[in-house]
């Protein structure tokens, strides 16, 4: 049975730690706050991160918090029982003293169970679920709705690990900060005089998009208020959305950086913005690594679960019976239609005033 009265940082026998966090992008970014808490709690320990492509190269290749990045692609080339065997053999060889499973799904639980039953038993196994094979886990209230951040915090706290990091914490190499600053300089963007829009999301979840026309109208309102520039940011799935916004506004004050950056370049861009507005998307979680004001537009997803972390982040959602439906298709999209550009702009102004 899992217990909740440990004080693991006081145990000098914990010298080697494994963190499991595979996906998705937003969840990986959120978990980086826990990575920081673990590093602070165990300053002398070797910490390895077990993650999946592409996060190993995009976020953690040069992260000094980790001794090793263990990448076994359980969804791709290492799928099936071959991948399970590779994972078990790799993890067993490292002889960890503490395992922290922040993935918390059926597959990670299966792997940790197999490791516990047939491999070298790791003495301390933190999980987000109060069940075997974890011997340290939080007690969650029945029906309690918690964000991934809160669940992960509770898991660490069950092991006596202080959770002091208030927002995601990614290591940004100097070259990424330099590239972000150079992009801003190229377009004449001055700190605190531009806003950033994150108008896209994964192509498979388009009901989470507010829409190019609404973002274009919001851009006009923002520019009319005295903000000098709007910077559009996104990846390959958002190129058409950003192109449409640029076309609708038809102004040199709109700068389209979609597809021109690496993810870690963006943190420097975000850090210099006056404020940011975005959909429920992984890039919004990346933006929450900074202290800039961020408004996230939620439609079919529950803000209590998907809100990026930080006291600088707010969400806006229409008051409808069908909110939080999580549908991939919708004939009316009322949750976004009712959030007019004027309503969103008013919320931005109130947010900045606070």
Rounded distance between C-alpha atoms, residue 14 and residue 161, angstroms:
13
Q: How confident is the model at residue 146 (pLDDT cuts 50, 70, 90)?
A: confident
| pLDDT at position 70 over 70 | yes
Is residue 127 in some structural domain?
A: yes
Distances (CA, A) of 218 to 134, 213, 279: 48, 9, 13
SS3 content of the chain, % helix, strand, coil (to 5): 40, 15, 45
The total number of structural domains that make up the chain: 2
Contact 276, 294 (CB under 8 A): yes
Is residue 251 in some structural domain?
A: yes
Do residue 185 and residue 39 come from a single domain?
no
| pLDDT at position 111 over 90 | yes
Q: What is the pLDDT averaged over residues 33-49?
A: 98
Do residue 229 and residue 345 come from a single domain?
yes
What value does the CA radius of gyration of the chain take, rounded to a whole number of Å? 21
- Strand ranges across the sheet with 124-126: 68-71, 46-51, 16-20, 98-101, 124-126
* Range among 197-206, 217-226, 232-241 with highest mean pLDDT value: 217-226
Do residue 181 and residue 154 come from a single domain?
no
Residue finishing a domain among 131, 158, 185: 158
Per-residue model confidence as pLDDT tens digits over 325-343:
999 999 899 999 999 999 9
Per cent of the chain over pLDDT 90 is 87
Do residue 25 and residue 138 come from a single domain?
yes
| pLDDT at position 86 over 90 | yes
Which element (helix H / strand E) includes 348? Answer: helix 341-353
Rounded distance between C-alpha atoms, residue 333 and residue 322, angstroms:
10
Residue finishing a domain among 112, 129, 158: 158
Is residue 2 in some structural domain?
A: no
Do residue 231 and residue 322 come from a single domain?
yes
Per-residue model confidence as pLDDT tens digits over 227-261:
999 999 998 889 999 999 999 999 999 999 999 99
206-210 contacts, C-beta under 8 A, 24 or more apart: 206/328, 207/299, 207/300, 207/327, 207/328, 207/329, 207/330, 207/333, 207/336, 208/279, 208/280, 208/281, 208/299, 208/300, 208/301, 209/241, 209/279, 209/336, 210/279, 210/297, 210/299, 210/336, 210/339, 210/344
Is residue 1 in some structural domain?
A: no
Do residue 54 and residue 95 come from a single domain?
yes
Is residue 73 in some structural domain?
A: yes
| pLDDT at position 145 over 90 | no
Beta strand ranges found along the chain (DSSP E):
16-20, 46-51, 68-71, 98-101, 124-126, 194-198, 229-232, 254-256, 275-279, 293-297, 313-316
Q: Which of 138, 141, 144, 145 is nearest to 307 (CA)?
A: 145
Which element (helix H / strand E) includes 248? Answer: helix 239-249
Is residue 165 in some structural domain?
A: no
Is residue 224 in some structural domain?
A: yes
Q: What is the pLDDT of residue 202?
A: 82
Residue finishing a domain among 115, 133, 158: 158
Q: What is the pLDDT averaged over residues 16-42?
A: 97
Rounded distance between C-alpha atoms, residue 30 and residue 25, angstroms:
9
Please provide residue 308's backbone torsions phi and psi, each rounded to the nearest 5 degrees.
-60, 160
Is residue 168 in some structural domain?
A: no
Q: What is the pLDDT of residue 77?
A: 81
| pLDDT at position 219 over 60 | yes
- 186 contacts: CB under 8 Å, gap ≥ 6: none
Q: What is the pLDDT averaged over residues 311-327?
A: 94
- 16 contacts: CB under 8 Å, gap ≥ 6: 45, 46, 48, 94, 95, 96, 97, 98
Do residue 145 and residue 179 come from a single domain?
no
Do residue 333 and residue 192 come from a single domain?
yes
Distances (CA, A) of 216 to 202, 223, 292, 345: 20, 11, 22, 12
Q: What is the pLDDT of residue 255?
A: 98
Question: Which CATH number do you get for residue 260?
Answer: 3.40.50.2000
Q: What is the pLDDT of residue 144?
A: 78
Contact 174, 42 (CB under 8 A): no
Domain encompassing residue 75: 8-158
Rounded distance between C-alpha atoms, residue 249 and residue 195, angstroms:
15
Rounded distance between C-alpha atoms, residue 270 and residue 3, angstroms:
41
Do residue 124 and residue 233 come from a single domain?
no
Of 145 and 282, the one with more pLDDT: 282
Q: What is the pLDDT averaged over residues 24-34?
A: 96
Q: How are beta strands 229-232 and 194-198 bridged, if at all? A: parallel
Do residue 126 and residue 43 come from a single domain?
yes
Rounded distance between C-alpha atoms, residue 213 and residue 247, angstroms:
10
Do residue 219 and residue 97 come from a single domain?
no
Do residue 82 and residue 221 come from a single domain?
no
């Amino acid at each position: 049975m899992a217990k909740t009265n440990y004080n693991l940082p006081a145990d000098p026998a914990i010298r080697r730690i494994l963190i499991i966090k595979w996906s998705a992008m937003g969840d990986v970014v959120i978990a980086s706050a826990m990575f920081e808490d673990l590093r602070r709690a165990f300053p002398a320990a070797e910490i390895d991160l077990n993650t999946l492509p592409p996060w190993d190269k995009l976020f953690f290749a040069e992260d000094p918090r980790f001794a090793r990045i263990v990448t076994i692609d359980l969804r791709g080339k290492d799928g099936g029982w071959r991948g399970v065997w590779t994972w078990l053999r790799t993890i067993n060889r490292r002889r960890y003293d503490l395992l922290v499973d922040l993935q918390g799904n059926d597959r990670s639980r299966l792997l940790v169970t197999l490791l516990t039953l047939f491999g070298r038993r790791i003495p301390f196994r933190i999980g987000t679920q109060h069940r075997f094979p974890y011997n340290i886990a939080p007690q969650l209230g029945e029906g309690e709705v918690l964000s991934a951040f809160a669940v992960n915090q509770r898991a660490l706290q069950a092991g006596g690990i202080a959770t002091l990091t208030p927002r995601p914490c990614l290591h940004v190499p100097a070259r990424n900060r330099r590239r972000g600053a150079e992009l801003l300089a190229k377009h004449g963007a001055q700190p605190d005089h531009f806003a950033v829009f994150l108008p896209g999301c994964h192509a498979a979840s388009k009901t989470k998009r507010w829409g190019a026309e609404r973002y274009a109208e919001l851009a006009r309102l923002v520019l009319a208020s005295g903000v000098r520039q709007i910077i559009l940011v996104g990846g390959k799935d958002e190129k058409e959305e950003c192109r449409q916004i640029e076309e609708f506004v038809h102004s040199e004050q709109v700068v389209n950086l979609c597809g021109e950056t690496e993810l870690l370049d963006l943190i420097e861009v975000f850090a210099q913005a006056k404020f940011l507005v975005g959909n429920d998307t992984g890039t919004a979680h990346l933006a929450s690594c900074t202290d800039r004001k961020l408004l996230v537009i939620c439609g079919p997803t529950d803000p209590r679960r998907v809100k990026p972390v930080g006291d600088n982040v707010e969400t806006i959602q229409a008051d409808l019976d069908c909110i939080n439906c999580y549908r991939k298709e919708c004939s009316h999209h009322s949750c976004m239609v009712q959030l007019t550009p004027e309503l969103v702009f008013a919320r931005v102004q109130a947010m900045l005033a606070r």
